[in-house]
Chains A and B, each alone.
Chain A
Amino acid sequence: MTGQAEVSKALEFAKSRSSETGQSDDGKGSKFLSFFLGEEEYGLQILSVREIIGLMDITQVPQTPHYIRGVINLRGKVIPVLELRTKFGMETIEDTEKTCIIVVEVVMQGAPIQMGILVDSVSEVLEIKASDIEAAPSFGGGINTDFIMGMGKVKDEVKILLDIDKVLGEVDVSGLGDLKQKTEADSKQTAEGDLEQTAEPVPA
Chain B
Amino acid sequence: MSTHAFNNSESKNNDVSLNDIAEFLISRDEIGSEALEQLKEYLTRVLEKAGKKSPAYPYLEAACEFVDIAEKEGYENLDSQSVEVLSNFIECAGYEIDDDEPVFDSSNTANLTNSTEAASDIDMSPEPEPDSEIIESNSAPQTKTTSVPESPEETATPNPGTGVHTLPDDIDTDFLSEFATESEEYLEQAEASLLTLETDPEDDEAINSIFRAFHTIKGTSAFLGLTQITELAHVVESMLGRVRDGSIKYTEVYADVALQSIDVMKSLTEIAKVGSPGQELATPAGLAEIHERLAHPDELEADSQAFESGAVDTTPRLGDIIVAENIATRKQVEDVASSQAEDKLGVALVKSKTAKAAEVVQALRTQTKIAGPARTASSTLRVRTDRLDLLIETVGELVIAQSMVAQDDTVHLGENHKLLKKVGHSGKIVRELQDLSMSMRMVPLKATFQKMARLVRDAAQKSGKRVQLITQGEDEEIDRNMVDVISDPLVHMVRNAVDHGIESAEERSKANKPAQGTIRLAALRSGSNVLIKVGDDGAGLNRQRIVNKAIEKGLIESDKGMTDSEIFELILKPGFSTVENVTDLSGRGVGMDVVKRGIDALGGRINIASEFGKGTEFIMQLPLTMAITDGMLVKVGKELFIIPTININRSFRPNAEQISTVAGRGEMVLLHGQVIPVYRLYEIFSIKGAIENMTDSLLVIVGDGKNPCAFMVDELLNQQQVVAKPISDGLGKVSGVSGGAILGDGHVGLILDTIELATMARQSFKTAEIKQSRIANKGNNRQKPVTIKR
Asked if A and B are interacting partners, one says yes
| B-binding residues in A (CB < 8 A) | 57, 59-64, 66, 68, 70-73, 76-80, 108, 111, 113-115, 168, 171-172, 175-176, 179, 194, 197-202, 204
Cβ contact within 8 Å between B747 and A197: no
B684 contacts the other chain (Cβ, under 8 Å)? yes
What B residues does A115 contact at CB under 8 A?
Answer: 730
Query: Given A73-B747, A73-B748: A198 and B789 within 8 A (CB)?
Result: yes
Cα of A72 to Cα of B760 in the assembled complex, Å:
25
> Is B788 in contact with A199, judged by CB distance below 8 angstroms?
yes
Known pairs A63-B736, A63-B788, A71-B740; A168 contacts B730 (CB<8 A): yes
Taking a contact as CB atoms under 8 Å apart, the answer to whether A62 and B748 are in contact is no
Do A57 and B747 have beta carbons less than 8 Å apart? yes
Stretch in contact with the other chain, from B106-114, B202-210, B254-262, B762-770: B762-770
User: When the two chains form their complex, are residues B763 and A204 in contact, meaning their CB atoms are under 8 A apart?
Assistant: yes
**A41 → chain B closest CB, angstroms:** 25
Contact assessment for A61 and B766 in the assembled complex, using a CB-CB cutoff below 8 Å: no
Asked if B732 is an interface residue, CB under 8 A from chain A, the answer is: yes
In the complex formed, the residue of B with least CB distance to A56 is B746
Query: Does the CB pair A199–B737 fall under 8 Å?
Result: no
Known: A76-B742, A78-B748, A175-B732. A62 touches B737 (CB 8 A): yes
| B745 nearest CB across to chain A (Å) | 9
**B342 touches A (CB below 8 Å):** no
Asked whether, in the complex, the Cβ of A78 is within 8 Å of the Cβ of B764, the reply is no
| Contact flag A62-B789 (CB < 8 Å), given A73-B746, A78-B725, A79-B730 | no
Q: Please, which residues of chain A bring their CB within 8 A of the CB of B686?
A: 62
Q: What's the nearest-Cβ distance from chain B to residue A132, in Å?
A: 32
Closest residue to A115 on the B side, CB-wise? Answer: B730
Task: Identify which of B730, B746, B767 contacts A108 (C-beta below 8 A).
Answer: B730
Contact across chains for B787 and A197 when beta carbons are under 8 A apart:
yes
Across-interface contacts of B739 in A (CB, < 8 A) = 78
* Shortest distance from the beta carbon of B606 to any chain A beta carbon, whole Å: 21
A61 to B750, Cβ gap below 8 A?
yes
Evaluate contact between A80 and B727: CB separation under 8 angstroms. Answer: yes
B730–A78 contact, CB under 8 A?
A: no
- Taking beta carbons and an 8 Å cutoff, which residues of B are in contact with A? 393, 397, 400, 639, 684-686, 725-727, 729-737, 739-740, 742, 746-750, 759-760, 762-764, 766-767, 770, 786-790
CB pair B730–A61 under 8 Å, yes or no, is no
Bound-complex Cα distance A88 to B220 (A): 62
Nearest neighbor of B762 in chain A, beta-carbon distance: A204
Q: Considering only CB atoms, which chain A residue lies closest to B745 in the complex?
A: A57
Chain B residues with CB below 8 A from A113, complex form: 729-730
Q: Which of B737, B759, B762, B764 is in CB contact (< 8 Å) with A61?
A: B737
- Asked whether, in the complex, the Cβ of B749 is within 8 Å of the Cβ of A66, the reply is no
Is A63 a contact of B735 with CB atoms below 8 Å?
A: yes
- Bound CA–CA A181/B729 (angstroms): 21
A-B contact pairs, 27 of them (CB 8 A): A57-B746, A59-B749, A62-B685, A63-B760, A64-B734, A68-B790, A71-B731, A72-B748, A73-B747, A77-B725, A78-B727, A78-B742, A78-B748, A113-B730, A114-B729, A114-B730, A168-B730, A171-B730, A171-B731, A172-B730, A172-B732, A197-B787, A198-B789, A199-B787, A201-B767, A202-B770, A204-B762
Rank and list the top 7 A-B pairs by shortest CB-CB distance, nearest first. Answer: A78-B740, A59-B748, A62-B685, A113-B730, A198-B789, A113-B729, A78-B725
Q: Output the nearest chain B residue to A201 by Cβ-Cβ distance.
A: B763
Hey, which chain B residues are within 8 Å of A78, CB to CB? Answer: 725-727, 739-740, 742, 748
Bound-state Cα–Cα, A57 to B746, Å: 9
Residues of B within 8 A of A176 (CB): 732-733
> CA–CA, A201 to B732, complex, Å?
16
Q: Which residues of B contact A63 (CB under 8 A)?
A: 734-737, 760, 788
Measured between C-beta atoms, what is the minimum distance from B711 to chain A in Å? 13
A76 CB → nearest B CB, Å: 5
Shortest distance in angstroms between B679's beta carbon and chain A's nearest beta carbon?
13
Is B767 touching A199 in the complex (CB atoms < 8 A)? yes
Give the distance in Å from the alpha carbon of A58 to the alpha carbon of B735 in the complex. Answer: 19
Nearest Cβ in chain B — how far from A54, in angstroms? 14
- B684 near A62 with CB under 8 A, answer yes
Q: Which residues of chain A have C-beta atoms less than 8 A from B733's C-beta? A: 176
Complex Cα distance, B725 from A78, in Å, reads 7
Contacts of A199 in B (CB 8 A): 764, 767, 786-789
CB nearest neighbor in A for B748: A59
8 Å CB contact of B750 from A59, A72, A200? A59
Q: Known: A78-B740, A199-B787. Is A61-B747 also a contact (CB below 8 A)?
A: no
Query: Whose C-beta in chain A lies nearest to the C-beta of B724?
Result: A78
| Chain B, residue nearest A106 (CB) | B730
Most buried by B among A60, A62, A71, A113: A62
Q: A57-B746, A62-B736, A76-B397 known; 18 other A-B pairs, CB under 8 Å? A: A59-B740, A59-B749, A59-B750, A61-B727, A62-B788, A62-B790, A63-B788, A71-B748, A71-B750, A73-B746, A73-B747, A76-B393, A76-B400, A79-B730, A176-B732, A198-B789, A202-B763, A204-B759
Given the known inter-chain contacts A57-B747, A59-B740, A63-B737, please indicate yes or no for A171 contacting B767, CB distance below 8 A: no
Closest to A76 in B: B397
- A114 to B727, alpha carbons, bound, how many Å? 11
CB nearest to B726 among chain A residues: A78
Q: How far is the CA of A153 from the CA of B766 in the complex (A)?
A: 53
Is B727 in contact with A71, judged by CB distance below 8 angstroms? yes
- Measured CB to CB, the closest approach of chain B to A82, in angstroms, equals 9
Docked-complex contact A194 and B727, CB < 8 angstroms: no
Bound-complex Cα distance A66 to B731 (A): 12
**Docked CA distance A202–B747 (Å):** 33
Chain A residues with CB below 8 A from B729, complex form: 79-80, 111, 113-114
Shortest Cβ gap from B130 to chain A (Å): 47
List the A side residues contacting B731 at CB < 8 Å. 61, 64, 68, 71, 80, 171-172
Asked whether B730 lies within 8 Å of A202 as measured between CB atoms, the reply is no
Provided the pairs A66-B790, A202-B770 are in contact, do residues A171 and B748 lie with their beta carbons within 8 angstroms?
A: no
A134 to chain B, nearest CB (A): 31
- How far is it, in angstroms, between the C-alpha of A80 and the C-alpha of B766 when the chains are bound? 30
Q: How far is the CA of A25 from the CA of B603 in the complex (A)?
A: 52
Least CB distance from A49 to B in Å reads 16
